[in-house]
A and B are shown apart, each in its own frame.
Chain A
Amino acid sequence: MTALHELQQAFSAALKNADEEAPISVRGRPGENPAKRFGVYRNNVTVSLVEALISAFPVVHRLVGDDFFRAMARVYVGLHPPRSPLMFAYGENFPDFVSDFPPAASLPYLSDIARIEAAWRRAYHAADEKPLAIEAMAAVEQEKLPGLRLTLHPAVHVVRSRFPAISIWLDNRGEERTEQRIDMSSAEDGLVTRPALDVEVRRLPSGGAAFIDALQSGATLEAAAGAGADDGRRSGARFELSDHLVGLFQSGAVVSLNLATVVPSGSAEL
């Protein structure tokens, strides 16, 4: 164990825990108690991580207000410090934390809003792919359609909510101003993707989430339509495959068609 290691061990422990004293060899001016100076580092760490969460979850921040968000984020930062220097990925499990955070229980849709924002950020940084136009489907022979597999854009994420989370998010982002009050009893699923540079978030019709989930895990068009129909039936909606396909292509969510009968390795584990 080197002296440098021991010093960094003590420094780290005191950064993580405000009750822990600064390392004894830390110095300020002659005769000064260096606790306040050490506190600058402690404060920098916490505030910078809280700020990172504010910029990653702007609508959650807006909905609960700055004081509440900062207090909540401080608890998260203490429990889940970053394990990587890539701050654009920090807070991946913040939605789960929000859903289990008792003081936020009065806003049961809040964790779904956080899920939309986590998906938004993943989509923003996802690999570039050129969306495929729906005309490509015309080249597929009718009898081969059931066995067709669609490769979706790497930015595609599906968010499901028991609440109108997509409407709340769109309204608070200023991307869609609704004049009416949002019906809080309606459930919504959403598609988050990025056909070019801008991330797009839209509501999915009933059954769409299960349909896309199935396609994403490598199911054939027939199997995915079955999954979508089963899911849609639960809410009493009829599943129109062609409508869902058109919507998916129009969202720029499809990047290639695959007619091979064998699933390429790796695609099933998505």
Chain B
Amino acid sequence: MSAFPAPRVPLTKEVPIMIAASVPQRAGVGLKAQHYRDILDDGPDLGWFEVHPENYMGAGGAPHHYLTRVRENYPLSLHGVGLSIGSDGPLDKDHLNRLKALVERYEPGLFSEHLAWSTHDDVFFNDLLPVPYTEETLQRVADHVDEVQDAIGRQMLIENPSTYVAFEESTMGEVEFLSLLAKKTSCGLLLDVNNVHVSAVNHGRDAFAYVDSFPLHLVGEIHLGGHAPDTDDLGQPLLIDAHDRAVDDPVWALYDHVLAKGGAKPTLIEWDNDVPGWSVLFEEAKRADAVLEKHKAGITHDCAA
């Protein structure tokens, strides 16, 4: 049972009919082109898949062919990387229309984007850039979230970022900012547990305290991913949100804590660079499923008691 079931959306004639399927409280993985055939041949017992909609905005060909096949067999989540919700400038209307068309075509169970900006004056930086946490930013981001939710006719989730710098302008914390954003717009939240760990290490804060203050009841999805170690100018650890390796042990520990407090949530393994073979990725998902099962069992036990 997902907290955010997808509404039925009228379909256009040329698109195959798909029944909207909500994303279950299980592990999913990011769908990669190099795994299309493995997945369709093996039909792995996996809860769901996630894609970046930007990779499926071409007219046709293999991406749509395989995503359609995958969608026939699994629930789907769309996780945008190009809307630039955190820009002071207006949203790209063409991009919003493309997104709307994809949501109608594939009926994802979840749609999410980042608390970040990536476009300024028409230049797309292809990175998730940080925003200062101010009233002004909050209003701007809230306006953008309202615009997106109106356009696609459904709730979206906003993801907490991994950051390498902070801003002197900030007048509130990240959790307060996200909580107020959800209150203003009725959006849900995507809790990226790796981002919590990365940002906590990078800014010398306590990741567990962050989670303890987070409105977990608003979380519709969790992300787990790998990060690369580096050091800052003082020689202190600086973690880079690289998505290029397995999930690190402190992130698994933090994930366990999140589920203990907030209950099971659909959980994605994000592995976007140096993508391993399908079996390695699938094993990582099974590990997340095992943690989810443990907490589902715990909750059942609590209810029965």
Check if A4 sits within 8 Å of B88, measured CB to CB.
Answer: yes
Chain B 208-243 interface 0/1 with A at a Cβ cutoff of 8 Å (1 = within)? 000000000000000000000010111010101000
A91 within 8 A of B: no
Check if B127 sits within 8 Å of A127, measured CB to CB.
Answer: no
Q: How far is the CA of A11 from the CA of B120 in the complex (A)?
A: 10
For B166, list chain A residues within 8 Å (CB). Answer: 26-28
Chain A 161-194 interface 0/1 with B at a Cβ cutoff of 8 Å (1 = within)? 0000000000000000000000000000000001
Number of residues in A with C-beta < 8 Å to the partner?
Answer: 53
Check if B123 sits within 8 Å of A25, measured CB to CB.
Answer: no
For B83, list chain A residues within 8 Å (CB). Answer: 85
Check if B168 sits within 8 Å of A25, measured CB to CB.
Answer: yes
For A194, list chain B residues within 8 Å (CB). Answer: 61
A263 within 8 A of B: no
A5 within 8 A of B: yes
Could you say which of A33-41, A235-243, A245-253 contacts chain B?
A33-41
The residues in B between 136 and 161 inclusive whose CB is less than 8 angstroms from any CB of A are: 136-137, 140
Check if A8 sits within 8 Å of B236, measured CB to CB.
Answer: no
Chain B 97-139 interface 0/1 with A at a Cβ cutoff of 8 Å (1 = within)? 0000000000000000000011111111111010110101100
A105 within 8 A of B: no
Of A35, A36, A85, the contact of B54 (CB 8 Å cutoff): A85
B178 within 8 A of A: no
What are 10 A-B residue pairs whose CB atoms fall within 8 Å in the complex?
Answer: A3-B169, A8-B129, A32-B232, A82-B123, A85-B118, A87-B55, A125-B63, A126-B58, A154-B59, A197-B62
Q: Mark B residues whose CB is within 8 Å of A.
A: 54-55, 57-65, 81-84, 87-89, 92, 95, 117-127, 129, 131-132, 134, 136-137, 140, 164-169, 202-204, 230, 232-234, 236, 238, 240, 273
Q: Mark A residues whose CB is within 8 Å of B.
A: 2-5, 7-9, 11-12, 15-16, 22, 24-29, 31-38, 40-41, 44-45, 48-49, 51-52, 81-88, 123-128, 154-155, 194, 197-198
